[in-house]
Chains A and B, each alone.
Chain A
Amino acid sequence: MDDAKRAGETFDSIAEHFDRTRNRTWDEVIEFIKAGEGRLLDMGCGNGRHSLAALEYGYDVTGLDASGKLLDICRKKTNSMDWIKGDVKTLPFEKQAFNRVVCIAVIHHLKKNRTDCVKEIRRVLKSDGRALISTWAREQDRWELEEDQRDVMVPWHLEDGTVVQRFYHLYTLEELVEEVKRGELKVIRAYNSGGNNYVECRR
Chain B
Amino acid sequence: MKRSLMEILRCPKCKGELELNVIQEEDEIEEGTLECGKCDITYPIEEGIPNMIPQR
Contact = CB atoms under 8 A, between A and B. Distances in A.
Contact of A87 (B1, B12, B27, B50): B12
A95 B2 CA distance: 19
Majority DSSP secondary structure for residues of A touching B: mixed
Interface residues of B, number: 21
B28 A95 contact: no
A84 B10 contact: no
B2 A92 contact: no
A95 B16 CA distance: 10
B51 A85 contact: yes
Given A93-B8, A94-B8, A84 B49 contact: yes
A21 interface: no
Nearest to A97: B8
A165 interface: no
A94 B12 CA distance: 9
Contact of A75 (B2, B10, B12, B49): B49
A107 interface: no
